Structure 1
Amino acid sequence: MDQQLQVFIAVAERKNFSRAAEELHMTQPAVSQYIRSFEESIGVRLLERTNKYVRLNQAGEIVYHHAKEITGLYSKMQNLVDDLANKASGPLTIGASYTFGEYVLPHILSKLAADYPSIEPEVTIGNTAEIAELVISHQLDVGLIEGHFKEAVPLQNESFAEDLMYVVAPPSHPLVGQDKRISIDELANELWLLREEGSGTREAAEKFFAQSGFRPSRIMQFSSTQPIKESVEAGLGISLLSQWAIQKELQHRELQTLPVKGTPFKRHFSIVTNSPFQTKALQVFIELLKNSDELTDLTQKNTASKL
């Protein structure tokens, strides 16, 4: 791969010539020379330099974005070529939306490590929109996401798992333990604790509300699921959460589900990739996802918890 690109990316991310030189095992003068040569070849300055900082200017931001995409494609190409003569091994960059990444993926990775110890997974957790964007820019080999997204380029998209979502409340909630189904209108005065825009969990909640002909009058947003669970347990409000995210809290009776009409609400998780070619490492990972006993086991545990 072009050494100038590597040096430029290191300086842009470290915002410091000395730290970039240390990371690349080079001298600082050598790093400075690479940057000068790179800027001359591009025909414009890419970095603003002072005694206190080094940062990208507008042209530098453009070059950095494309440099990351180029290096991602180069790595993918090299891994595909290496695969022709080798077993499933090497790096595998995986992105996952919060629900799947925090509560399901660790079980899949444990199985992957046991069966394919030569594969080196690197995991990024983000909301659905963030993970899709990283797959589009070739910074991730695969994304595991919920919901839909507006992609700039078409991605290979395959549904592989069904999730069930429930309205959860603290054990002290007056509607806990109801024998009859509850109309969502009975929750009109509740504070709903929801994920941020761009999250697949938020998209599912919006679909559930639309199908129920309901709109919460009060909403509080969170950037991840864990503080939502803590806040529901504390009595702040209620939420719509994945069966996978709440299994431990249900087992310990820290949260309870409400028998609301229209629940459990079903949604699907999808595998997204951005290339017709797959490394052996990616192939075995996707196969593991599709035939995972871990997904079945987690669902059975939730059923045992009397969701």
Structure 2
Amino acid sequence: MEHSSGSLVRRLRLQQLAIFEKVAETGSMLAASRELHMTQPAVSKCIRELEQHFNETLFTRGKRGVQLTEFGELLRRHAQSLLAGLRFLADDANSWSAGISGQVVVGTLLTASAKLLPRAVLRLREIAPNIIVKIRVGSNDALFPELARGQFDVVIGFLPEENINPSFIHVPLYDEMLCAVVSRHHPLALDAQVDIRQLQDMAWIIPTVESVARRSAHSFFEAAGMAMPGKLVESVSFLTNLGLLLESTMIALMPYAVAEQFVRAGLLSILRLGVASPFGKVGYTLMADRPPTAATARLLAALEQVAGIDAPGGL
């Protein structure tokens, strides 16, 4: 069966796509019906109507719920784009009528979630308290594809060294530095200056091999005149790293802005090594072909305002 755009406009309903997306998200007709406050038969009927319209099976049924077929995956990609477009329209309409309302969905890396993003959100609440901010943490590999599909309005954090995808606009806010940190109770925590030679045989926590921060770790040791330590734990989980630091005498590499938050909380100390090692640029990423909504534009303005405060002041 061939499908023209006119035929789709006449026969498809946005509610059908919203129901389809909820079933795909939950993996269950029953769970979707509960979240949508509908009966399960009504949800099932909607899915059957979509399958009849396209003459394709959208889900395979099993004991543990439903899974998308290949055609279902195709339809979901387009449904997500359409529903995201509706959300952008709703946000713009709300902003037009109220001036300070709307919603911003943010994808962020831990690099920015420690200080930059919280301060920007607090600044946004001062100027537009009715804007709802939804935040999800992830890696660039996961966040950028979702930004392209319209699941995020903006991604905030560590920027790629090269912009190889013209679909994205990367806006740098400041240069982040890498530093070495230890528990506040570490023997070296209070030393005004630490001799690099003391650190070679100690246990370190560094980013994993596949992490974009691994190259920065190599640069750090080169700048310090050290070989890569032999005793290593490779981790990009800040909570895990913090636990290891608090329970041992290990040393960890962290972005300065992240480490500074733990220092202020009285948990960690930054070792004074006399080494300034670049970590990368911190900023935000937008889609080149999708202008930011009014609510998103206000968050970006807040980011710009607080970026100077968050820029590392040196080690």
The size of the alignment, in residue pairs, is: 300
1:137 maps to what in 2?
A: 149
1:169 aligns with 2:169: no
- 5+ residue gaps, structure 2, are 1-12
1:155 aligns with 2:168: yes
SS of match in other structure, 2:114: helix
- The TM-score with structure 2 as length reference comes to 0.80
Q: Distance in 2 between matches of 1:25 and 1:174?
A: 58
- The TM-score with structure 1 as length reference comes to 0.82
2:117 maps to what in 1?
A: 105
1:291 aligns with 2:282: no
Which residue identity does 1:292 align to in structure 2?
V
CA RMSD, 1 decimal:
3.1
Cα 1:248–1:212, aligned 2, differ >3 Å: closer, same or farther? Answer: closer
Cα deviation 1:1-27 (Å, max 9, x = unaligned):
722211111111122212212222322
Cα deviation 1:235-289 (Å, max 9, x = unaligned):
2521111222223543465422223353253532111111451221111111111
1:280 aligns with 2:309: no
Cα 1:102–1:44, aligned 2, differ >3 Å: closer, same or farther? Answer: farther
Which residue identity does 2:148 align to in structure 1?
I
Q: Distance in 2 between matches of 1:63 and 1:152?
A: 24
* The 10-residue stretch of structure 1 (162-171 or 94-103) with the greater mean CA deviation from structure 2: 162-171
Which residue identity does 2:91 align to in structure 1?
N
1:217 aligns with 2:234: no
Q: Distance in 2 between matches of 1:122 and 1:198?
A: 28
Which residue identity does 1:192 align to in structure 2?
W
| Contact kept in structure 1, 2:182 and 2:250, CA below 8 Å | yes
Q: Distance in 1 between matches of 2:166 and 2:29?
A: 35
Cα 1:117–1:239, aligned 2, differ >3 Å: closer, same or farther? Answer: same
What is the identity percentage for the equivalent residue pairs of Structure 1 and Structure 2?
A: 21
Cα 1:84–1:170, aligned 2, differ >3 Å: closer, same or farther? Answer: closer
Q: Distance in 1 between matches of 2:92 and 2:209?
A: 36
- Which structure 2 residues correspond to residues 237-252 of structure 1 after superposition, within 5 A? 237-251=250-264
1:32 maps to what in 2?
A: 44
How far is the alpha carbon of 1:34 from its aligned partner? 1.3
| Contact kept in structure 2, 1:146 and 1:201, CA below 8 Å | no
* The 10-residue stretch of structure 1 (208-217 or 47-56) with the greater mean CA deviation from structure 2: 208-217
Q: Distance in 1 between matches of 2:229 and 2:98?
A: 55
Cα 1:242–1:92, aligned 2, differ >3 Å: closer, same or farther? Answer: same
